[in-house]
Structure 1
Amino acid sequence: MQPENAHQARLLTSLRFNGAQSAAELATQMSLSRSKIGQELARLQESGFVEPAGKAASQGGRRSGLMQLSRRLRFVGVDIGATSLDVGVTDGRLEFVTHTSETINIEDGPETILGRAVEMIDKLRAEGHLPELDGVGVGVPGPVSFRDGFTVSPPIMPGWDRYPVREYFMQQLDCPVLLDNDVNLMAIGEMYCGLARSVPDFLFVKIGTGIGCGIVTGGRVLRGSNGSAGDIGHIAVQGTGPVCGCGRTGCLEAWFSGASLSRDATALARSGDSPGLHELLGDRDALTARDVGIAMRNGDPQALGLVRDGGRRVGRVLAGLVNFANPGMIVVGGGVAGLGHPLLAEVRSELYRRSTPLATSNLPVALSELGGHAGVIGAAGLINDHVLGVNLAS
């Protein structure tokens, strides 16, 4: 189910972004006759895209009828992370209907993880949250061939290389499906429902198990020629250093990410150089980024040093991107972003110090307010755009 032509795509796009409207309002907006608008709305109603929404407020004459997106439209966002699986349902205007999540290990492989995602969707359907399933957007934490719908040599996803993720969901759920990397989808979530709603050019930086950057320019995600744009975690910040998951040394991700914080904090704890981290480790095998945050807030100087060093490295890489792309905003999200303002302060300081004054003269750098929902909102937004023809309308 998709719009038949560009006029219908423009109508659906306007109803999604602006809510219920009359035929007269839509005709003026689109510079088309009311009869033409009426014809297209009738077709859209027959196909289940739109429905009547009552009457407009009286302005002294006959009250106009309003049309809105069908309240039965449902889009599912599936956000597959290294350690979590999130599934969210939205309506046609990307407002949340419900959301569920569980802990996973991405190394369990595609059959196990994707099968579990389908089970979660089926459960939501059985609970009545999905009267229809109009499309599914899926995000994964690795490089994606957007055109082909599979991952390509993902460093932290053994067994997933070229696995037909999009085809799997299409066969299991019988609906349109699109696959993208998780960072691009988080950027789309921010563009539609987050801090960057009115910013056409911005960067979304995810600091989690790995590091990536969603690049939005002119209101669209920049994927590059084969879908690998924004993979900033593998920009070298030093010639040597820890071995990265990609097999090289010196990558930003190897110096500062959820995995590297776990490695470095655990080493400090075991050496006894950080009493706070040592106490948190106890008899566990390893610490997490969250533990680093706890120790930092408890005044542990070594934990704070890890965060500051990492923030400076991220800021150094972002300065290069700012000088090159001149974004209007930078939004920072992901699990490690939970370290909060001590991390953000270092990123800002290094970024502003190393970027040109013009590029940073009016450049806000902020923490995402969508938290763990950015990915599922963005995934739902990606497939919503496709089904409603938003890109066709623009």
Structure 2
Amino acid sequence: MRTVDSLHLRLLRLLRDHGAISRAELADQLEAPRPRLLAELDRLVGLGYVAEAGLAASRGGRRSTLVELNPGLRFAAVDLGASSIDVEVVNGRLEPVAAYAESADIRSGPKVTLQRVSELLHKARVDGAYERLAAVGIGVPGPVSFRDGVPVSPPIMPGWDRFPVRELLTREHGCPAVVDNDVNVMAIGERHGGVARSVNDFMLVKIGTGIGCGIYLDGEVYRGKDGCAGDIGHIQVELNGPMCSCGNLGCLEALFGGAALAREATVAARSGASPALAERLAAAGTVAACDVALAAAEGDITCIQLIRDGGRRVGRVLAGMVSFANPSMIVIGGGLAQLGHILLAEIRSVVYRRSLPLATGNLPVVLSELGLRAGVAGAAVLASDVAFEQAS
């Protein structure tokens, strides 16, 4: 993204995050000379980004005009998982006006997956959710070159390496697009409207099919030089552990991602170690992470232990990161966050026990407030930002 006038961005973000504001209040909050602010507002009205919204309450003199983001402004937010597609069309306040969620296989490749995204957005347009999009934001489950808008050697996304995702979306929908790693996108969503709102230094850990970490430092996403910061799922936690999708042995993801937990659950079901899982396997022919969560909630000792073992491994990795980066908060999200407080308690226990007391004395470790919507929420924020930067 290119650098633009700071007043321009601050003004649009303020209207996005707080709704209709009077011209007088805008001048006060932005600390901008009134003539310059009025000129900028007139320019944005002409571009279709801002609209008048009636008169503000009197402040003792002539009533100021309220301004807001154009009610017709629309952004598309897309969250791709290893086995799911979530799409929302949102308005300027990032409130959803249309939403679609369905199962998908990221291994089917970029053309098939992105074609389905386009079909869902086309359905939203036919249904009246928008006339045109101002921008598209998308998160994908693998490393991304944020600068180039392409995935780079993603372990669970065959066929996606260097695929021009941003270019295709821009061409397909006639608007700017932005592409980021799904965990960074979740962190952006959680900071904008979730439990980490206004927290400048935190880590969001996604535990799903894969495991990753979105990192906020000093109020900005830290992506690293090449876009792969936070790829904690491929930190080795057992020297002779199982083979990971990345080709190495004993990675955290290979021991406690969604596929790993399903594998361990299947073993427990077939061996009879877990009667609850054995019953589910007999009924459905397969067991998944959600079955472990349900059986643990019913008191199944084996399932509780599976969750605790996973939480302990995640906690060991996070303890090292806490001692290194000293965040203000850790947020646990992703599909396996449904394992709930058994998982959270184990992660907390290990982090607090193994990290330096100075780093954990005021460190909350909490579940995501946005849950499975964190990804689309963050993609919407990214889409709005790239649109605002283009509005010049």
Tell me the TM-score range normalised by the shorter chain.
over 0.9
Aligned partners of 2:177 and 2:386 also within 8 Å: no
Number of the residue aligned with 1:254: 254
Number of the residue aligned with 2:92: 92
Runs of 4+ in 1 over 4 A off after TM superposition: none
Aligned partners of 1:56 and 1:66 also within 8 Å: yes
Q: TM-score, normalised by structure 1?
A: 0.95
Structure 1 residue identity aligned to 2:237: V
Number of the residue aligned with 2:336: 336
CA distance in structure 1 between the aligned counterparts of 2:215 and 2:151, rounded to whole angstroms: 19
CA distance in structure 2 between the aligned counterparts of 1:374 and 1:317, rounded to whole angstroms: 23
CA distance in structure 1 between the aligned counterparts of 2:254 and 2:4, rounded to whole angstroms: 48
CA distance in structure 1 between the aligned counterparts of 2:163 and 2:253, rounded to whole angstroms: 24
Number of the residue aligned with 2:112: 112
Number of the residue aligned with 2:386: 386
Range that drifts further, 380-389 or 277-286: 277-286
CA distance in structure 1 between the aligned counterparts of 2:36 and 2:151, rounded to whole angstroms: 43
Structure 1 residue identity aligned to 2:293: G
Structure 2 residue identity aligned to 1:140: V
Range that drifts further, 268-277 or 80-89: 268-277
Q: In the alignment, is residue 72 of structure 1 matched against residue 66 of structure 2?
A: no
Q: In the alignment, is residue 266 of structure 1 matched against residue 266 of structure 2?
A: yes
CA distance in structure 2 between the aligned counterparts of 1:4 and 1:238, rounded to whole angstroms: 47
1:238-291 Cα distance to aligned partner (Å, 9 max, x none) = 211111111111111111111100111101111222222111111655311001
Aligned partners of 1:78 and 1:379 also within 8 Å: yes
Q: In the alignment, is residue 236 of structure 1 matched against residue 232 of structure 2?
A: no
Aligned partners of 1:12 and 1:389 also within 8 Å: no
CA distance in structure 1 between the aligned counterparts of 2:382 and 2:249, rounded to whole angstroms: 34
Cα 1:4–1:51 change in 2 (3 A) is farther
Number of the residue aligned with 1:377: 377
Number of the residue aligned with 2:345: 345
Number of the residue aligned with 1:358: 358
Number of the residue aligned with 2:152: 152
Structure 2 residue identity aligned to 1:343: L
Structure 1 residue identity aligned to 2:312: R
Give secondary structure in 2 for the equivalent of 1:389.
Answer: helix
Structure 2 residue identity aligned to 1:202: F
Number of the residue aligned with 2:11: 11
Aligned partners of 1:78 and 1:86 also within 8 Å: yes
Identical columns (%): 57
Aligned-pair CA distance for 1:145? 1.2
Give secondary structure in 1 for the equivalent of 2:358.
Answer: coil
Number of the residue aligned with 1:245: 245
Aligned partners of 2:280 and 2:286 also within 8 Å: no
Aligned-pair CA distance for 1:195? 0.4
The aligned runs of 1:1-394 (5 Å cut-off) are 5-282=5-282, 284-389=284-389
Structure 1 segments unaligned to the other structure (5+ residues)? none
Aligned-pair CA distance for 1:91? 1.4
Q: TM-score, normalised by structure 2?
A: 0.96
CA distance in structure 2 between the aligned counterparts of 1:249 and 1:222, rounded to whole angstroms: 27
CA distance in structure 1 between the aligned counterparts of 2:49 and 2:328, rounded to whole angstroms: 34
CA distance in structure 1 between the aligned counterparts of 2:265 and 2:150, rounded to whole angstroms: 34
Aligned-pair CA distance for 1:4? 7.0
Cα 1:252–1:376 change in 2 (3 A) is same
CA distance in structure 2 between the aligned counterparts of 1:111 and 1:12, rounded to whole angstroms: 34
Structure 2 residue identity aligned to 1:253: E
CA distance in structure 2 between the aligned counterparts of 1:149 and 1:267, rounded to whole angstroms: 40
CA distance in structure 1 between the aligned counterparts of 2:187 and 2:388, rounded to whole angstroms: 19
CA distance in structure 1 between the aligned counterparts of 2:108 and 2:283, rounded to whole angstroms: 25
Q: Over aligned residues, Cα RMSD in angstroms?
A: 1.7
Aligned partners of 2:4 and 2:389 also within 8 Å: no
Give secondary structure in 2 for the equivalent of 1:99.
Answer: strand
Structure 1 residue identity aligned to 2:300: D
